[in-house]
Structure 1
Amino acid sequence: MTADDYLKAILEREAVPRDPGLLPAALVDCVGAICRDWAGPDFLEIVPAGSFEKGTANLSGRQIDFLAVLAPDTARPLEEAYAALWQRFEALGLRPERRNVSIGIRVSGRLVDVIPARREARDSDAHMLFLPRAGKTVTTMPALHAGGIGASGLTDEIRLMKLWRDQRGLPFPSFYLELSVLAALDGQGRAGLAENVWAVLVYLERSFLSRAVLDPANANNIVSDMLAQSEKSQIAASARRSLADAAWQEIVA
């Protein structure tokens, strides 16, 4: 078995269907009902988003992301809305987990991320998100992220790097990871899967610490600021160790 064959077998094992029509109706209804109750008259919609929408989700990771959208004229600050949704999930026994822009829960045995957002205007794709770690809101365009990353031709490499991250317990936010893979392979000819993943590891070891990564939807959002330098050093050191491994089975499984 070649290295590419080995990695493709992992991707097949971890495949998550992208068709929103295949999402269990009970799951969509459950999350939707909770979010409608949370938002009240400010509720606009709930839509698939994040890794699911981009095609970069893995079966063993966060499988489904939902964007819970509040109306543009919502008076409640987004920070308070985020806290209220977290409290609602906790009261329902869903064991919420604060993540980078989302709240992680488990519903019907599935790992789900719910991203509270406020649309800037009813005819706009721009949304405001709350970053709990930084304690601030940012404006971005999740639909643009999904289209750009989903059409990059690098979703397989991204999925493998997410598995690499998860299997090492690294503090590497998914959006930052996705943009880092695109940066690592920017301008390079399309090589084999193993060669591309290797190039990403080299990038993480050599260039990641000093590379500023910006949100393609809003250059004022410095995505690389999501991590402290010590956390970036942890990722670079892990990449260095992986590059020293003799077999792909030791790099990602």
Structure 2
Amino acid sequence: MADAYLAGLLNKYEVDPTRVQAVASQIIYPRIAHWAGSYLVEATYSGSIAKGTANSCSTDMDIFISLSSQTPETLKEIFGKLYTAAQGWGWAPRQQNVSIGVTVDVLSVDLVPGRKQAGYQNWHSLYHRRGDSWRQTNVSMHIDTVRNSGRTGEIRLAKLWRHLAGLNFPSFYLELCVLEALSGRRYGELAANLSLTLEWLHANLETRRIMDPANTANCISDDLTQAEKRAVAQAAGIARARPYYSDFVW
């Protein structure tokens, strides 16, 4: 019965890709192409929509902006110029860790600029604002890791809980935590696996280091402070203690 309830929520919050695609193709891509000019390699979905982990109640669209290795500006300058451009477009930009958060036609969009590394097809350098440094990573590998994990249902439910609880928990960090929590567990058991995920977050989030599967030099868990991790862990414990799933996801 619990599995059926949670499966119903997944259907309830299924994303209609047509609206998202329209905003991307008609509004966002033309602006990005004009801004980047000849240095643009491509702009593609890179977040929850590409991975199959999006919910309609909190649709977040990540667009990865792949720039040529010949782009002359530093990564920090690229990040700053994209922020300034988004201000000019009226998108109410917010400087985040590796992305510029904007609002376009009521959709929340994260623009992630990256400079391609010469000689490597999918490897890019990204500006890391929190450390005022840079990261080398492979966004295509991120997408494949999550999309092919067999855990997209549980991830969507964890994201729904995050949304309803109003938590600051970056999506890729959350996704990797779910994969860690459910390693070796049976597939398709939504209720049991959601409970296991909450238990794992409550017990482990504050101390477990989560690394980038594309580059183990990148510690994804550094994207939250200890206080932010504690808030998520405590919320997970509270949710897990509820007698019914409908008490914390609906």
What's the TM-score, normalizing by structure 2?
0.93
1:107 CA drift (Å): 2.1
Deviations along 1:164-205, whole A, 9 cap, x unmatched?
111112121111100000000011223510100000000011
**Residue equivalent to 1:65:** 62
- 1:128-147 matches, within 5 Å, as 128-147=125-144
**1:33 pairs with one of 24, 30, 34:** 30
**Residue equivalent to 1:5:** 4
Is residue 202–residue 236 contact of structure 2 (8 Å, CA) maintained in 1?
yes
Is residue 150–residue 187 contact of structure 2 (8 Å, CA) maintained in 1?
no
C-alpha distance 239-214 of structure 1, shift in aligned 2 (>3 A): same
1:91 CA drift (Å): 1.4
**Residue equivalent to 2:149:** 152
What secondary structure, in the 3-state scheme, does the structure 2 residue paired with 1:187 have? coil
**Residue equivalent to 1:236:** 233
Deviations along 1:51-93, whole A, 9 cap, x unmatched?
1111111112234221111101111011111111111111121
1:145 CA drift (Å): 0.8
**1:112 pairs with one of 109, 112, 118:** 109
1:108 CA drift (Å): 2.7
What secondary structure, in the 3-state scheme, does the structure 2 residue paired with 1:15 have? coil
C-alpha distance 219-26 of structure 1, shift in aligned 2 (>3 A): closer
Q: C-alpha separation between the residues in 1 aligned to 2:19 and 2:91?
A: 23
C-alpha distance 168-22 of structure 1, shift in aligned 2 (>3 A): closer
Q: C-alpha separation between the residues in 1 aligned to 2:149 and 2:41?
A: 30
1:163 CA drift (Å): 1.2
C-alpha distance 169-124 of structure 1, shift in aligned 2 (>3 A): same
Runs of at least 5 residues in structure 2 that lack an aligned partner in the other structure: none
What's the TM-score, normalizing by structure 1?
0.92
**2:79 pairs with one of 76, 82, 94:** 82
CA RMSD, 1 decimal: 1.8
**2:198 pairs with one of 196, 201, 210:** 201
Deviations along 1:103-134, whole A, 9 cap, x unmatched?
22222332222111111136511111122223
**2:97 pairs with one of 90, 100, 104:** 100
More moved, 7-16 vs 59-68: 59-68
Is residue 47–residue 143 contact of structure 2 (8 Å, CA) maintained in 1?
yes
Is residue 164–residue 248 contact of structure 2 (8 Å, CA) maintained in 1?
no
C-alpha distance 163-23 of structure 1, shift in aligned 2 (>3 A): closer
Q: C-alpha separation between the residues in 1 aligned to 2:151 and 2:86?
A: 34
C-alpha distance 26-164 of structure 1, shift in aligned 2 (>3 A): closer
1:26 CA drift (Å): 5.4
Is residue 211–residue 219 contact of structure 2 (8 Å, CA) maintained in 1?
yes
More moved, 184-193 vs 217-226: 184-193
C-alpha distance 8-160 of structure 1, shift in aligned 2 (>3 A): same
What secondary structure, in the 3-state scheme, does the structure 2 residue paired with 1:209 have? coil
Aligned length: 250
Is residue 151–residue 187 contact of structure 2 (8 Å, CA) maintained in 1?
no
1:229 CA drift (Å): 1.1
Is residue 62–residue 112 contact of structure 2 (8 Å, CA) maintained in 1?
yes
Aligned-partner residue type, residue 218 of structure 1: N
Is residue 16–residue 63 contact of structure 1 (8 Å, CA) maintained in 2?
no
Runs of at least 5 residues in structure 1 that lack an aligned partner in the other structure: none
Aligned-partner residue type, residue 173 of structure 1: P
